[in-house]
């Protein structure tokens, strides 16, 4: 699909459509850009797969966005791929690549007064300890927890449901117990999965008064603007009258179109089917 | 792995490890057989994928069990693959293939007095309407419902948890409302997913007094014994002192070993890693 604007194309990648929450935040910050989004829906969820498999899938997906869609920047809008495959993606393409982990950790540092933060994410993200490493490098202490029920609850549409509130309460209580045992005083909760922004209001009700909830989709969009500005490549205002968004998926295009709008905040438009093999 | 017994090898296939509930039932009925189980864990869950993709994955997996493991019979211990890919699997191999749908429907016919049954399963199984068709062919009326939260709840280990009981109650109430509106009098609930046998006691508490819960893992094991007896190929008692079970997975072997024992009822032993490509 040729780029009919003067703006650079920003490629956005996720294993599924949760990364549309990151695309949504990117569009809000860069409404004049052209975006190509790929959801590797044939092979989701990455969260339960090994590092080797995730790296291979993510590299193929990144190459599609760069080679087929002409992306000049890539945002890896997938915590699992950012945690386990950022190096593999950077090796596979020659354009700048931004993941979601580092911006989330930096936002946590900016928000936390105690220096102790809680991170919730998928199994694979937690087992990688990528957030722990990123937080520690910034001088924070962090406790991570896998919350595997939250993605299915969001996909079931139970984003404002008493069962979801109860599950969140159970997970947060387990985190608070661990924090207490280890002598931590956490005041910041990082939502380390692109599905979780849809539960943001439930999390804000569930955390203790004064605690901050960090939405890594929003943090990543802010980091993307800084990165692209720093390279003199920010999409120029006025070169396009409307954000240009092209969505692609490797399977289940109909489901992508049906559920994607919840994450994106408006219809996805026609979603192109892409065969990456495998 | 050579077959060191005189018994035929029975290949058992699932997209993940839920099918170990079917293997467990098969072992109980045929303790002298040799079993090779493959979980296509690199590509799970099949439930959210298209028919074309599921058929390709399932055919590759079936070929591994027949060609590499010498399986002389195949049990497709996966509702989604049985619903969407039984033909593709039968085309891909030359041995007899048994799915889980038909045995489940036949057990429902044997159990139901009213002739009205409820079927719960994954999204893809429900959208295939394979249970509806199998039930109707046997003279039953059926209402199907996708219950996508139950698999993650089982995998989280919440098999006897108040949240799981609440989710089951919500799903069953939705089914009962639909049954009421359509003038059905269901007295039988078919568990159309291999994860659900682990929730059997919660389901038995949640259904109305006198209603039957059909565990398709158990129904399938009974059908397998009949099929193999009918072909004169039932494993001979006494040819082996112990059931021989070899488990394979396409990814996440460690997770398979860790979680698989919950489904199998005893340790899985070492799980072999298999690369089917993709």
Structure tokens belonging to residue A49: 């797969």
The Cα of A49 is separated from the nearest Cα of chain B by a number of Å equal to: 6
Model pLDDT for residues A50-70, shown as the tens digit of each residue: 788 899 999 999 999 999 999
Q: Which of A1-5, A256-260, B204-208, B226-230 has the highest mean pLDDT?
A: B204-208
Res A168: pLDDT: 98
Q: Give strand ranges (E) for chain B.
A: 9-14, 34-39, 73-76, 97-98, 116-121, 141-146, 188-191, 212-215, 244-249, 271-273
**Closest approach of A211 to chain B, Cα-based (Å):** 26
Three-state SS annotation for A70-124: CCCEEEECCHHHHHHHHHHHHHHCCCCEECCHHHHHHHHHHHCCCCEEEEEECHH
Pick B9-99+219-273's CATH classification: 1.10.15.40, 3.40.50.1860, 3.20.20.140, 3.20.20.410.
Answer: 3.40.50.1860
Cβ-based contacts of A50 with chain B (< 8 Å): 42, 251-252
pLDDT at A234 over 70: no
Q: How do the pLDDT tens digits run along chain B, 278 residues long?
A: 555 556 789 999 999 889 999 999 999 999 989 999 999 988 887 877 778 889 999 999 999 999 999 999 999 999 989 999 999 999 999 999 999 999 999 999 999 999 999 999 988 889 899 999 999 999 999 999 999 999 999 999 999 999 999 999 999 999 999 999 999 999 999 999 999 999 999 999 999 999 999 998 999 999 999 988 776 555 545 444 578 999 999 988 888 898 899 999 999 989 999 998 75
pLDDT of A1 strictly over 70: no
Q: Across the interface, do B167 and A166 touch by the CB < 8 Å criterion?
A: no
| CA A99 – CA A92 distance, rounded (Å) | 15
Q: Which residues of chain B make contact with A42, given a CB cutoff of 8 A?
A: 49, 53
pLDDT at A46 over 90: no
Residue A277 confidence class, pLDDT cut points 50, 70, 90? confident
Q: Which residues of B touch A49 (CB under 8 A)?
A: 42, 251-252
Q: Beta-carbon neighbour count of residue B193 at 10 Å?
A: 29
Which pair of structure tokens corresponds to residue A187?
Answer: 């005041």
- Identify which of A45, A167, A252 has the shortest CB distance to residue B163: A167
Q: CATH topology of A9-99+219-273 equal to that of A101-217? A: yes
Chain B residues in contact with A51 (beta carbon < 8 A): none
Name the residue in chain B with its Cα closest to that of A40. B49
How high is the pLDDT of residue B248? 97
- Predicted complex ipTM: 0.85
pTM, entire model: 0.88
Q: What is the pLDDT confidence band of residue A233, given thresholds at 50, 70 and 90? A: low
Residues of B carrying an active site annotation: 78, 193
Quick one: average pLDDT of A116-129? 92
CATH architecture of A101-217: 3-Layer(aba) Sandwich (3.40)
Q: End-to-end CA distance of chain B: give it in Å, rounded.
A: 24
CB-CB: which of A45, A167, A251 is closest to B50? Answer: A251
- Probe site for chain A from B39, B45, B156 (most A CB atoms < 10 A): B156
Residue B252 is nearest to which of A48, A170, A252, comparing CB atoms?
A48
CB-CB neighbors (< 8 A) of B126 in chain A: none
- Residue with the two structure tokens 């303790």: B31
Secondary structure (3-state) at B108 = helix
Q: Does residue A215 sit in helix, strand or coil? A: strand
Task: Report pLDDT digits (tens) over A149-162.
Answer: 999 999 999 999 99
Does domain B101-216 bear CATH number 3.40.50.1860? yes
Distance from CA of A27 to the nearest CA of B (A): 28
Chain segment A185-204, per-residue pLDDT in tens = 999 999 999 999 999 999 99
Contacts of B53 in chain A (CB under 8 A): 42, 251
- For B256, which residue in chain A has the nearest alpha carbon? A48
Residue A177 pLDDT exceeds 80? yes
pLDDT of residue A42: 83
CB contact under 8 A, A148 and B155: yes
Which of B53, B156, B251 comes nearest A42 by C-beta? B53
DSSP helix/strand/coil, B11: strand
Locate the domains of chain A by residue range.
Answer: 9-99+219-273, 101-217
Mean pLDDT of chain A: 91
Q: How many angstroms away from the CA of A277 is the closest CA of chain B?
A: 6
pLDDT, mean of residues A28-57: 88
Active site residue A135: no
Which of B45, B152, B164 to probe the A interface (max A CBs under 10 A)?
B152
Give the angle A220-A221-A227 at the CA atoms, nearest 5°: 85
Q: Which residues of A touch B255 (CB under 8 A)?
A: 48
From the candidates A78, A135, A147, A247, which is the catalytic residue? A78
Q: Which DSSP string do the residues of A152-164 spell out, in sequence order? A: HHHHTT-TT-HHH
Cβ of A148 and B170 within 8 Å? no
Search chain B and give the residue with CA nearest A147.
B156
Is A124 a residue whose pLDDT tops 60?
A: yes
């Amino acid at each position: 699909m040729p780029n009919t604007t003067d703006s650079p194309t920003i490629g956005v990648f996720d294993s599924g459509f949760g990364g549309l929450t990151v695309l949504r935040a990117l569009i809000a910050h860069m409404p004049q850009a052209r975006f190509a989004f790929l959801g590797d829906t044939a092979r989701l969820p990455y969260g339960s797969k090994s590092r080797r498999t995730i790296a291979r899938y993510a590299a193929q997906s990144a190459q599609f966005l760069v080679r087929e869609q002409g992306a000049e920047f890539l945002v890896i809008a997938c915590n699992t791929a950012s945690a386990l495959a950022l190096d593999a993606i950077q090796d596979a393409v020659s354009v700048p690549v931004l993941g979601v982990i580092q911006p989330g950790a930096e936002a946590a540092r900016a928000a936390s007064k105690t220096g102790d933060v809680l991170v919730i994410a998928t199994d694979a993200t937690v087992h990688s300890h990528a957030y722990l490493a990123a937080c520690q490098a910034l001088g924070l202490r962090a406790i991570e927890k896998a919350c595997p029920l939250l993605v299915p609850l969001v996909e079931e549409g139970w984003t404002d449901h008493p069962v979801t509130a109860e599950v969140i309460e159970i997970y947060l209580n387990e985190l608070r117990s661990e924090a207490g045992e280890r002598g931590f005083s956490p005041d910041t909760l990082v939502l380390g999965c692109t599905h979780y922004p849809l539960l943001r209001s439930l999390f804000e009700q569930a955390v203790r008064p004064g605690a901050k909830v960090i939405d890594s989709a929003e943090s990543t969009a802010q980091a993307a603007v800084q990165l692209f500005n720093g390279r003199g490549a920010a999409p120029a205002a006025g070169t396009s009258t409307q954000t240009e968004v092209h969505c692609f998926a490797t399977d289940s295009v109909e489901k992508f179109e049906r559920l994607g709008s919840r994450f994106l905040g408006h219809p996805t438009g026609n979603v192109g089917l892409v065969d990456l093999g495998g």
